[in-house]
A and B are shown apart, each in its own frame.
Chain A
Amino acid sequence: MPRILVIEDDDVTASEIVAELAVHGIDADRVADGREGLDRAMGPGYDAITLDLMLPGMDGLGIVTQLRAQGIATPILMISALGDVDRRVGGLRAGGDDYLTKPFAPDEMVARVDVLLRRHRQQAQQTLLRVADLELDLVRHVARRGGRQLSLLPTEFKLLEFLMRHAGQVLTRAMIFETVWGFHFDPGTNLIDVHIGRLRRKIDTGDHVPLIHTVRGSGYSLAQTD
């Protein structure tokens, strides 16, 4: 069972994070102070960290910088009340892996933690992604379903790659929009749904088992269900 370190000084937010992670079968330890958080994060045993950027003792950016300077690569989800792009870029540049703005939906937070946990275990240089009979060759830029080649637009290819890299995980619309398009504003739910719909019509055709699933209230997931 994965273990998460939650560095968060606000009690309500912290208990929400811990409770939501527990629902999804993830163990979490909570620390309220920045300095103590850094000490714990330096130690072994944690698979990921959620980090509030405004903390007593030591601020979140300082903690990230210190950890990365020490060569500790534990994935970090930064959580901040400040949502503008500059802060996000600054946080990611300091060594954070993802950035979430308060207040957040718990499922959004869990989805992001989940992605961080698996990314860590995944081999980075995969060149062939495979889910059931769906194949994506990243070197030759070819997608196949059951041996038949699919014609995908560049954006559709990127979208499919993101879904397949995180097969079996819930990906929220915001995560999809940020990763595939690199945009950080809110385009409205409809837009991502339309793009997913297109991809779905190309992949889940005919008598093939549907692979792209809508997760109600959250987002999408690509997985083989039986």
Chain B
Amino acid sequence: MRRLTDNWRSTTARLILIYGAFFALWGVLVIGAIHWQAASYLSRVSDDLIGRQANYFAMLDEPTRQIALNDYVSLETRQLNAWGLFDAHGAPLAGTITTLPANVRVNGPVVVVPDGLSRTDGDDHGSVRAAAVRLDNGRILLISRDTSIVDRIGTIIFQALLWGLSLTVVPGLLGGWLLTRGPLRRVHAIRDATLPIMRGDLAQRLPVSRRGDELDMLAGIVNAMLDEIERLLGEVKGVCDNIAHDLRTPLTRLRARLYRLQQQFGEGSSENESLEACMVDTDALLDRFRALLRISELENQHRRAGFECVDLGEILQEVHALYLPLAEDRGQRLELQVPALPSIQADRHLLLEAFSNLVGNAIKFTPSGGRVDIRARPADDGPWVDVSDSGPGIPVDQRVAVTRRFYRIESCRSTPGSGLGLSIVSAIARLHGFTLEVAGGERGARLSIHCATASVS
């Protein structure tokens, strides 16, 4: 299942993010256009001014020009304006500007000097706009104006953009996050409701609120589907159980008749031999039905009333003692390793049944001379019990299937059995909230039950 903690995966969050990106882009474009327009207007105005002033200075006579030029500089308190007087060859004569920039043409238009001018009254590397005019006496007058004011306006506009964006995008994202949280909380509730369903409790339904929104519609659809699945499964199971139940009575009678016949013929007669074979077959059939009904009985058992504090080690010792003679008769070693374990909440009888099944199975499928190990190991979330053997093992692709009813591994079909043992173990584990793990491969099988203490409430 995908993690649901990532709030930004939801539809609302995605829409908010896309909207936010669009808004930011659009804002940048608009502000950019405004900036460009304002800057070009301001440049035009200042160019116009510089051009006029240059021509005006050129028209004045020498003393008046000197006063006017001094005013030109001193009246602009921010020292934005400057001038320089050069001889016909470009050597500086007066003013604060000491070099004639290469790109300024005499009597030409106002140009931008990007690297600034070298001045005697301080370094100024900021970009300036400048124009040069030839005076009556052949000298060249250069006047310049610092245009950093235009850049400053650009900065102000840019800051306005940032403020605007942050005031729109931040509350937008916050609002989006809040909007996402509500539905996500409900998705979490739905996920919590599906967990027991996935574990097999088909009586559970998804929560539906009174709002009747999209989530509720979806939950409604899923609930209707669950109703139908539950009904169908119930029917199938009912049919299976009924067959098993109804066939058991006539089979029991059949066995009784065979038994009576056997008594009548007496020991050692030839009829007795075939009757014995009939009874063995009938017993096998009855065992199978009994196991089948046992599974459905376990699956219908939802309550945990029979649970008590159980010493797992003691149970394993009992199972070991129960199966040791059988293993020894078959020339196998049955080893038990149980460290000190905390007691667990469980149904003692059911655990005995489950571990007996596991150990019985292991012994059955292990050849003579092999070994079977029962090992318990503690863990933080509840002890594990491994039953491993040196038998043929369970092929990887069949490890899930072996817990299914009637499933038998192809290579083991000649060994007598119903194919229901592991289904019983699996049903008992599920009833406890434990997990049955099937592992191992070439060299023997390992079946483990994880007695998860956390899930027992």
Is B159 positioned at the interface, with any CB of A under 8 Å from its CB? no
Within 8 Å by CB of A186, from B290, B305, B306, B323, lies: B290
Which residues from chain B contact A84 at a C-beta distance below 8 Å?
297, 301
Query: Contact at B322–A185, with CB atoms within 8 Å?
Result: no
Question: Does any Cβ of B come within 8 Å of A121's Cβ?
Answer: no
Q: In the complex, what distance in Å separates the CA atom of A103 from the CA atom of B286?
A: 10
Asked if residues B306 and A181 are in contact (CB atoms below 8 Å), the reply is no
A188: nearest residue on chain B (CB-CB)? B360
* Beta-carbon contact of B360 and A187 below 8 Å: yes
A204 within 8 A of B: no
A181, A186, A217: the one within 8 Å of B322 (CB): A181
Question: Given the interface contacts A106-B256, A217-B259, does A85 sit within 8 Å of B306 by beta carbon?
Answer: yes
User: Could you say which of A85, A105, A183, A194 contacts B252, with CB atoms under 8 Å apart?
Assistant: A105
When the two chains form the complex, which single residue of B276, B329, B356 contacts A194, counting CB atoms closer than 8 Å?
B329
- In chain B, residues 352-368, which have Cβ atoms closer than 8 Å to a Cβ of chain A? 352-353, 356, 360
Contact B305–A105 (Cβ < 8 Å) = no
Minimum CB distance partner of A89 in chain B:
B306
Size range of the interface on B?
A: 35 or more
A34 CA to B290 CA, complexed, in Å:
29
**A186 B287 Cβ-Cβ under 8 A:** yes
Contact pattern, B 276-303, Cβ under 8 Å of A = 1, otherwise 0: 1001000100010011001001000100
Assuming the contacts A105-B256, A194-B325, A217-B259, asked whether A85 and B248 have C-beta atoms less than 8 A apart, the reply is: no
Whether B262 and A217, one on each chain, are in contact in the complex, defined by CB atoms closer than 8 angstroms, is: yes
Minimal Cβ-Cβ distance residue in A for B421: A188
CB of B259 within 8 A of CB of A191, answer no
> Number of A interface residues, CB 8 Å?
31
Cα-based distance from A187 to B294 in the complex (angstroms)? 13
| Measured CA separation A182–B267 after assembly (Å) | 33
Chain A residues with CB below 8 A from B260, complex form: 23
Q: Which residues of A contact B290 (CB under 8 A)?
A: 186
A192 vs B279: C-alpha distance when bound (angstroms) = 18
Residues of B within 8 A of A184 (CB): 349
A29 at the interface (CB under 8 A from B): no
A85-109 vs B: 1/0 string, CB under 8 Å? 1100000000000000011111100
CA–CA, A3 and B6, complex, Å: 77
Also in contact, A191 and B322, with CB within 8 A (given A106-B259, A184-B349): yes
- The reply to whether A85 and B349 form a contact with Cβ atoms under 8 Å apart is yes
Decide yes or no: A185 and B325 within 8 Å by CB, A103-B249, A107-B259, A216-B262 being known contacts.
no
Q: Say yes or no: is A123 at the interface (Cβ < 8 Å to chain B).
A: no
- Beyond A106-B259, A107-B259, A216-B276, is A155–B349 a contact (Cβ under 8 Å)? no
Q: How far is the CA of A186 from the CA of B360 in the complex (A)?
A: 11
- The reply to whether the CB of A205 lies closer than 8 angstroms to some CB of chain B is no
Check B450 for interface membership: any CB of A closer than 8 A: no
A121-152 contacts to B (CB < 8 Å): none
Residues of A within 8 A of B325 (CB): 194-195, 197-198
- Most chain A C-beta atoms within 10 Å of own C-beta, residue among B251, B326, B353: B326
Interfacial chain A residues near B279, Cβ < 8 Å: 217
Residue on B with the closest CB to A13? Answer: B249
| Shortest beta-carbon distance from A203 to chain B in Å | 15
A11 contacts B by Cβ under 8 Å: no
| B25: Cβ under 8 A from any A Cβ | no
Q: Does B255 contact A (CB under 8 A)?
A: yes
Judged by a CB distance under 8 angstroms, whether A16 is at the interface is: yes
B321 contacts chain A at the CB level, 8 A cutoff: yes
Chain A hits for B253, CB < 8 A: 16, 103
Do residues A186 and B291 form an inter-chain contact, with CB atoms below 8 A? yes
Check B356–A105 contact: CB distance below 8 A: no
B residues in contact with A197, CB < 8 Å = 325, 329
User: Chain B residues near A189 (CB, 8 Å)?
Assistant: 283
Looking at the assembled complex, report how far the CB atom of A168 sits from the nearest CB atom of chain B, in whole angstroms.
Answer: 18
- Docked Cα-Cα span, A84 to B347, in Å, equals 13
Closest chain-A Cβ to B105's Cβ sits at a distance in Å of: 110
Residues of B within 8 A of A102 (CB): 249
- A185 & B356 in contact (Cβ 8 Å cutoff): yes
Contact of B326 among A185, A191, A216, A218 (CB under 8 A): A191
Query: CA A160 – CA B262 in complex, angstroms?
Result: 28
> Would you call B252 and A103 a contact (CB within 8 A)?
yes
**Is residue A190 contacting chain B, with contact meaning CB distance below 8 A?**
yes
Contacts of A83 on B, CB cut-off 8 Å?
297
CA distance A188 to B287 in the complex (A): 8
Q: C-beta contact mask, A173-187 vs B, less than 8 Å → 1, else 0?
A: 000000001011111
Shortest distance from the beta carbon of B317 to any chain A beta carbon, whole Å:
12
Task: Find out whether the CB atom of B321 lies under 8 angstroms from the CB atom of A155.
Answer: yes
Q: B259 contacts which chain A residues (CB < 8 A)?
A: 105-107, 217-218
Known: A103-B252, A194-B329. A187 touches B306 (CB 8 A): no
Distance between Cα atoms of A216 and B267 in the complex (Å): 9
Give Cα distance in the complex from A160 to B267, angstroms: 26
**CA separation between A191 and B321, bound complex, in Å?**
11
B362 CB to closest chain A CB (Å) equals: 13
Which A residue sits closest to B291, measured CB to CB? Answer: A186
28 A-B contact pairs sorted by A residue (CB < 8 Å): A16-B253, A20-B256, A84-B301, A85-B349, A103-B248, A103-B251, A103-B253, A105-B259, A183-B352, A185-B294, A185-B349, A185-B352, A185-B353, A186-B287, A186-B290, A187-B322, A189-B283, A191-B326, A191-B360, A194-B325, A194-B326, A195-B325, A198-B325, A216-B262, A216-B267, A216-B276, A217-B259, A217-B276
Which B residues fall within an 8 A CB radius of A? 248-249, 251-253, 255-256, 259-260, 262-263, 267, 276, 279, 283, 287, 290-291, 294, 297, 301, 305-306, 318, 321-323, 325-326, 329, 349, 352-353, 356, 360
Given contacts A191-B360, A197-B325, 20 further A-B contacts (CB under 8 A): A20-B256, A83-B297, A103-B252, A103-B253, A105-B255, A105-B256, A107-B256, A107-B259, A183-B352, A183-B353, A186-B291, A189-B283, A191-B322, A191-B326, A194-B326, A195-B325, A216-B262, A216-B267, A217-B276, A218-B259
For the complex of A and B, 10 pairs with smallest distance between CB atoms:
A103-B252, A185-B353, A194-B326, A103-B249, A106-B256, A194-B325, A85-B349, A198-B325, A103-B248, A194-B329
